[in-house]
Amino acid sequence: MVHILTSSAAVLAFQAAPGVDWLTVFTQNLTNLTTQNGGALTSFGLTELSFISLMVLVNMVITWSTDTMTFGFHREPLRIGDLVQFLLRLICCLLAENYWSNPLPGASFGFNHLFSYIAQVLSQSIDQNSLTNLEALLKTLGDGTAAPAITAPLELLAYILIELMLGVVTMVVFLVNVSGFILYGVAALFGPVFIPLYMTKNFRGKFLHFVDVLVSFAMIRAVASAFIYVWAGFLQAFVLQTFQSDYSMKMWLANLIPCIALFGAFVINMLYIPSLTQIIFGGHAGAAEKVDAALAKVAALVALA
């Protein structure tokens, strides 16, 4: 039982540890991943682009030569529009490869962080303090609830349930936000591999699909900010009106069922963020829902172990 209490307290401390912003730590690590390894993949992407461009150009020449074969003495002129289109696509691919991990002119980020930057702007436009306020609220509830005596088994059981509930809520908030960063960072790492596919007619759809996936992964953060903005204000008002800064076990026992229902609804809503992102923006953001659900189950089992 003491181990359960320790695990629950550790869960809350993991997210709300003073002086440690874990989302920033994950973001910095992912940035290092994409920047430090971007050069190697860019080199591979340029080699791939050279090969694909050569094949497209050879196919274009063969098509020109065979399409203009006639039995007459008047040769048809070459279609210069095909060559211009080829050169424009090649220029676009070269620029995308060069500025994928390198900063764009006049900006501090490359194409690999473009959609992430847009999601960041959207999140800040909604409310950049919602996540901090929600974390502070959960920490206040955890710290303000004193552990009852062992001689009161009912209150002790309720205390364990409360700490586990707050721990699961904290972990789900952390996992949803971090999963968006991780999925986007890992997907953006392979951008130089997909850029050359834009040159070909048959594989151009794969490049567009890759861009669609990047957009959906990036927007998980924006949709999560909208959810947290709504729920943070609602939870703060509920806690303030219900407890009125009195987090004693008597107040918890009197409002335990409404609190469990409310926090349970919050967790369910947070786990549906990837699916909602996929519905709004398309792509495969819904894959993150399975990851978050699996990690949440693992975290709950660890807390109970």
Cα(120)–Cα(197) distance, rounded to whole angstroms? Answer: 28
Residue spans per domain, the chain:
2-37+110-304
pLDDT bucket at 91, cuts 50 / 70 / 90: very high
Condensed to tens digits (0 to 9), the pLDDT of residues 38-72 reads 566 778 888 888 888 888 888 877 776 666 555 55
Contact 164, 256 (CB under 8 A): no
3-state secondary structure the chain: CHHHHHHHHHHHHHHHCCCCCHHHHHHHHHHHHHHHCHHHHHHHHHHHHHHHHHHHHHHHHHHHHHHCCCCCCCCCCCCHHHHHHHHHHHHHHHHHHHCCCCCCCCCCCCHHHHHHHHHHHHHHHHHCCHHHHHHHHHHHHHHHCCCCCCCCHHHHHHHHHHHHHHHHHHHHHHHHHHHHHHHHHHHHHCHHHHHHHHHCCCCHHHHHHHHHHHHHHHHHHHHHHHHHHHHHHHHHHHHHHHHCCCCCHHHHHHCHHHHHHHHHHHHHHHHCHHHHHHHHHCCCCCHHHHHHHHHHHHHHHHHHC
Cα(228)–Cα(134) distance, rounded to whole angstroms? Answer: 8
Average pLDDT of the chain, as a whole number: 76
Of 65-69, 159-163, 295-299, the least confident? 295-299
Percent of the chain at pLDDT exceeding 70: 73
Taking alpha carbons only, the member of 190, 198, 184, 186 closest to residue 41 is 190
Average pLDDT over residues 190-197: 90
pLDDT bucket at 194, cuts 50 / 70 / 90: very high
Taking alpha carbons only, the member of 95, 94, 106, 108 closest to residue 35 is 108
Determine the pLDDT at residue 275. 83
Of 90-99, 229-238, 288-297, the least confident? 288-297
pLDDT at 176 over 60: yes
Instruction: Give pTM, 2 decimals.
Output: 0.70
Average pLDDT over residues 212-234: 86
